[in-house]
Amino acid sequence: STQSRSSAASDVYKRQTPYHVTIACLILLMGLTSCHRESPNPPVNLLIIYPDQMRGQAMGFLGLEHVKTPHLDQFASQSLVLNQAVSNYPICSPTRASFMTGQYPQSHGVWSNCNSLSSPFNYELPTDAQCWSDVLKEKGYDTGYIGKWHLDNPRVPYIDVKNNQGRVKWNEWTPPDRRHGFDFWYAYGTYDYHNRPMYWSNEAPRDSFHFVDQWGPEHETDLAIAYLKNKENKFRDANKPFALMVSMNPPHMPYDLVPEKYKSLYDQVPLDSLVQFPNIPDEGTKWGDYYRKNIKNYYAMISGVDDQLGRIMATLKSQGLEKNTLVLFASDHGNCLGIHDEISKNNHYEESMRIPFLIRWPEHIQPRIDDLLISTPDFAPTLLGLMGFHEDIPPGTDGTDYSNLFLTGDGERPNSQLFMSVNVGKEALGARGVRTHRYTLMIQKDLDKQDQVELFDNQKDPFQLNNLSEKQIEIRKTLTKELEGWLVKTKDPWL
**Residue among 89, 113, 118, 114 nearest 103 (CA):** 89
- The fraction of the chain above a pLDDT of 90, given in percent, is 90
> Which residues are CB-contacts of 398 (< 8 A; sequence separation ≥ 6)?
102, 103, 104, 107, 377, 489, 490
**Amino acid at the residue 310:** G
Predicted local distance difference test score (pLDDT) of residue 35: 40
Q: Are strands 142-148 and 242-247 parallel, antiparallel or unpaired?
A: parallel
Task: Check pLDDT > 70 for residue 385.
Answer: yes
Predicted local distance difference test score (pLDDT) of residue 176: 97
Q: Where are the beta strands (DSSP E) in 212-338?
A: 242-247, 325-330
Taking CA atoms, 141 is separated from 56, 134, 236, 243, in Å, by: 30, 10, 10, 7
Distance CA 381, CA 39 (A): 15
Predicted local distance difference test score (pLDDT) of residue 39: 57
Taking CA atoms, 128 is separated from 53, 133, 178, in Å, by: 28, 13, 9
pLDDT digit string, tens, across residues 197-209: 999 999 999 999 9
Taking CA atoms, 256 is separated from 192, 245, 321, 422, in Å, by: 11, 25, 35, 30
Long-range contacts made by residues 438-443, C-beta under 8 angstroms, separation at least 24? 439/475, 439/479, 440/348, 440/349, 440/350, 440/464, 441/469, 441/476, 441/479, 441/480, 441/483, 442/348, 443/480, 443/483
pLDDT digit string, tens, across residues 108-166: 999 999 999 999 999 999 999 999 999 999 999 999 999 999 999 999 999 999 999 99
- Calculate the CA 85 to chain-centre distance: 9
Predicted local distance difference test score (pLDDT) of residue 121: 97
Question: Would you mind telling me the total number of residues written for the chain in this entry?
Answer: 495
Burial class (CB in 10 A: 0-12, 13-18, 19+), 353: buried
**First and final CA of the chain: distance in angstroms?**
35
> Which residues are CB-contacts of 40 (< 8 A; sequence separation ≥ 6)?
324, 364, 387, 388
pLDDT digit string, tens, across residues 36-80: 345 577 899 999 999 999 999 999 999 999 999 999 999 999 999
DSSP class of residue 231 equals G
Burial class (CB in 10 A: 0-12, 13-18, 19+), 45: buried
Predicted local distance difference test score (pLDDT) of residue 449: 76
Q: In this structure, are residues 407 and 388 in contact, taking their beta carbons and an 8 Å threshold?
A: no
Q: Where are the beta strands (DSSP E) in 297-446?
A: 325-330, 357-360, 368-370, 417-423, 426-435, 439-446
Q: In this structure, are residues 54 and 105 in contact, taking their beta carbons and an 8 Å threshold?
A: no
Taking CA atoms, 173 is separated from 132, 161, 178, 309, in Å, by: 21, 12, 10, 27
Predicted local distance difference test score (pLDDT) of residue 19: 37
Measured in degrees and rounded to the nearest 5, phi and psi for residue 392 equal -105, 5
> Which residues are CB-contacts of 493 (< 8 A; sequence separation ≥ 6)?
106, 427, 428
Q: How confident is the model at residue 22 (pLDDT cuts 50, 70, 90)?
A: very low
Predicted local distance difference test score (pLDDT) of residue 220: 98
Predicted local distance difference test score (pLDDT) of residue 38: 54
DSSP class of residue 161 equals S
Q: What number is the average pLDDT over the span 412-419?
A: 97
Task: Check pLDDT > 70 for residue 270.
Answer: yes
> Which residues are CB-contacts of 206 (< 8 A; sequence separation ≥ 6)?
159, 173, 175, 200
- Calculate the CA 71 to chain-centre distance: 18
Helical H segments across 230-360, by residue range: 260-263, 286-318, 350-353
Distance CA 48, CA 292 (A): 31
Task: Check pLDDT > 70 for residue 21.
Answer: no
pLDDT digit string, tens, across residues 216-268: 999 999 999 999 999 999 999 999 999 999 999 999 999 999 999 999 999 99
Predicted local distance difference test score (pLDDT) of residue 12: 35
Q: How confident is the model at residue 448 (pLDDT cuts 50, 70, 90)?
A: confident
The whole-chain average pLDDT of the chain stands at 92
**201-211 burial code (b ≥16 CB/10 A, e <16):** eeeeeeeebee
pTM: 0.92
